[in-house]
Amino acid sequence: MERLRLPKNRRLTGNEQFRTVLSHNLCASDAVLTVCIAPNACGYARLGVSVGRYSGGSVVRNRLKRLIREAFRQNQGRLAGGYDYLVMPSRRALRGLSRREAGRRTAVLTFEQVEESLLALVSAAKRKADNKR
């Protein structure tokens, strides 16, 4: 069985890399996540996670980041290589809620929900990228 890892070179770090992904404007979102993608020259998929304070307290935000990283790590083989992926919790579902209420709503997300959302949104964003070419 292949050992699944997420080494540092598979992560987006720094504002410049995040801005580059956002500038391509290839995003898809649903009630759980927002995923933006951009082609890279590395030849492999890289992940960036941004979880704002709108998602809840620090415990909830760190749990969301762990869920997103784990979903990405376990599905690296199913994702297209050569792309940078920026994943954020969707603000749409949390609009108008206090931080405490938002934290309660995001705290009940399961790994399966995050994984399903990630895979669906990556394929939707990839279709947008293919149509743009």
User: Domain holding 17: CATH number?
Assistant: 3.30.230.10
Residue 63 lies in a domain: yes
Residue 4 lies in a domain: no
Residue 17 lies in a domain: yes
Residue 83 lies in a domain: yes
Strand ranges (DSSP E) for the chain? 26-29, 33-39, 46-49, 83-89
Structure tokens at 10: 């598979």
Number of domains in the chain: 1
Residue 106 lies in a domain: yes
Q: How many CB atoms neighbour CB 6 within 10 A?
A: 15
Residue 133 lies in a domain: no
pLDDT of residue 2: 61
> How many separate helices (H) and strands (E) can be counted in the chain?
4, 4
**Domain of 75?**
9-124
pLDDT of residue 117: 95
Instruction: Indicate yes or no: pTM above 0.85.
Output: yes
**Over 60: is that where the pLDDT of 30 sits?**
yes
Looking at per-residue pLDDT, the higher value among 116 and 5 belongs to: 116
% of the chain surpassing 70 pLDDT: 96
pLDDT of residue 56: 83
Residue 92 lies in a domain: yes
Residue 101 lies in a domain: yes
Q: What is the pLDDT of residues 40-55, one digit of tens each?
A: 998 899 999 999 888 8
**Over 70: is that where the pLDDT of 3 sits?**
no
d(CA 88, CA 37): 12
